[in-house]
Structure 1
Amino acid sequence: MSGERPPTAQDAFRLAPELVAARFDTLTAAAEGCDALLATGLMPAGARDVAEKLGIRYVFACCDIFGLPSPHHPPGARPGTPSRGRRPTSRCCGSRTPSG
């Protein structure tokens, strides 16, 4: 990715498996010996699989009300504006897997 020229479309097919493998290796090494793995942001890919492989708890946290619909903030609701007369709640949502 940091070569002298940008990758081509053909390079993407060669690089993709390497990048996925590197991500799993990095996440696994970082989570070794932990009680839980917390994923957030735009790229939580692989985190749940790593947690399951290690037998630890997995939690995904999303602090973007537009990312996860809820009864308190349905899709398209404006931040700070209660919907359908409901009281505003925290902007941070989270979900847990059945394993933990």
Structure 2
Amino acid sequence: MTDDRRLWRRREEDVAMVESDLRVAMLDLRRLDDPPIILEGSAAVIWQLLAEPQTIDDLLTDLAEVFDAPASEMVGGARAFLEDLERRGLVLSNEEAD
């Protein structure tokens, strides 16, 4: 699928969150002036899957199973979402997965 071997994981320290099946509400405690972040649908599923470190390929495999859709259709959106969360400091990635 991709050649990206980074491991992605969510940053949970300094993040207050409430999770349900397809919705996550969170507040970055380092940025209390920012509004809460609400993730729904595939965004919430990605956040929940990142409770354990994953490569983007592993994440896409899981998403394809959850949504019964080809992983190739989700790669662009998933990558953009991860990069947005990384810019916000809500997910971390290492350089290489072993």
User: Normalized against structure 1, the TM-score is what?
Assistant: 0.28
Structure with a larger share of its residues in helix? 2
Q: Which has the higher relative contact order, 1 or 2, with Cα contacts under 8 A spaced 6 or more apart?
A: 2
Structure with a larger share of its residues in strand? 2
